[in-house]
Structure 1
């Protein structure tokens, strides 16, 4: 009787262990965001909530703007204020540079989109204008992570994530040469993602889910042999 009871308990344990560890890190309408900073160890607040110290991971609403505040203790550095717009289901890393007050960094950035003439430019799902004379510029953009989409009738859509930095230090450049729909070529959806923004796959399963079943099954087999 004890053997059957032990077997039942082990089975329930296996189901519970794997059921918990295979749950996705976030829901379909959420996104994962890892924030790194230079210098590290900065206090991070997302949408008014303290989430920890860099490097730090947090879950944010997908396809929505999350306000981010990064602050180095003391009075030497400027407070970094920006935002993060991440498509639902993605798990993204954002690298923040916190500048010293003496460096005079701007608190907004500049986005330059080049590509197909007449194509429409969207920033964080909002329409801003069309490409003319080869490019379109968006000024006074919040620092941080943003989604850029470029669309034109008869062409495949182009979409990418960009990281906007102070405009007196860098310009966020996007090259979007759209591919005609009839060409049958692959749609360039992530080719423009800058090197500073990594997009690893969302974690879905913990290694413990693999180890625990093996240990439990070995234990059950040993008990049943007695």
Structure 2
């Protein structure tokens, strides 16, 4: 009986340790995306592939647009259609609000970028113009998670992920007051990336623990 319980506990431990590592780690040219929805329990399809039900974690290509579809069972809610753009090697979370058909939510959003005059604005790695008279508006943006970069010569780059909601509900606002580069230093390729935590990787300890546990269990079971 004691051996049986030990075996079961060991299997549970190995599943937890190895399973978490397998989900958390991904290649450098990929990105991790956690999708939550309101209401929860919605079906999620990413680039045409069913990945599960919210809340759900999936791996997407990094530095590329992933099309996302979120659908709540029944006939009360609209099907949410949007996208997610996450830099390679990063983890991000996208919170989706699925609207009822009676709410009349639009399927596009508006991004408003303000900050340093004359700075160049990039959305999902595509150039959209410069900040003039304090701001730049980008209309007809897909709902979802988008990557904004603001650059100007002699200034540190600003970069962030922003959630875009229907334009008749909210405007996705970005304030990028760029910081001058100190004399004698190079302009960094990327500056602040708020909301984009680095991807977790498998630690040496995580890799050794299952081996140690197996050896310990084998020694006990031999008795």
TM interval, shorter chain, is 0.7 to 0.9
TM-score, reference length from structure 2:
0.80
CA distance in 2: counterparts of 1:201 and 1:101, whole angstroms? 37
Moved over 6 A (4+): 183-187, 220-224
TM-superposed deviation, 1:217: 4.5
CA distance in 1: counterparts of 2:209 and 2:61, whole angstroms? 32
For 2:57, the equivalent position in structure 1 comes to 57
**Structure 2 unaligned residues grouped into runs of 5+:** 1-16
* Structure of higher CA gyration radius: 1
CA distance in 1: counterparts of 2:39 and 2:219, whole angstroms? 53
Matched, 1:203 2:196: no
For 2:74, the equivalent position in structure 1 comes to 74
TM-score, reference length from structure 1:
0.79
TM-superposed deviation, 1:203: 3.4
CA distance in 1: counterparts of 2:49 and 2:219, whole angstroms? 49
**Structure 1 unaligned residues grouped into runs of 5+:** 1-16, 194-198
CA distance in 2: counterparts of 1:64 and 1:211, whole angstroms? 35
8 A contact 2:30–2:89 mirrored in 1: yes
For 2:3, the equivalent position in structure 1 comes to none
Change (3 A) 1:148 1:200: closer
8 A contact 1:23–1:205 mirrored in 2: no
TM-superposed deviation, 1:219: 5.3
For 1:37, the equivalent position in structure 2 comes to 37
Change (3 A) 1:22 1:205: farther
For 1:215, the equivalent position in structure 2 comes to 213
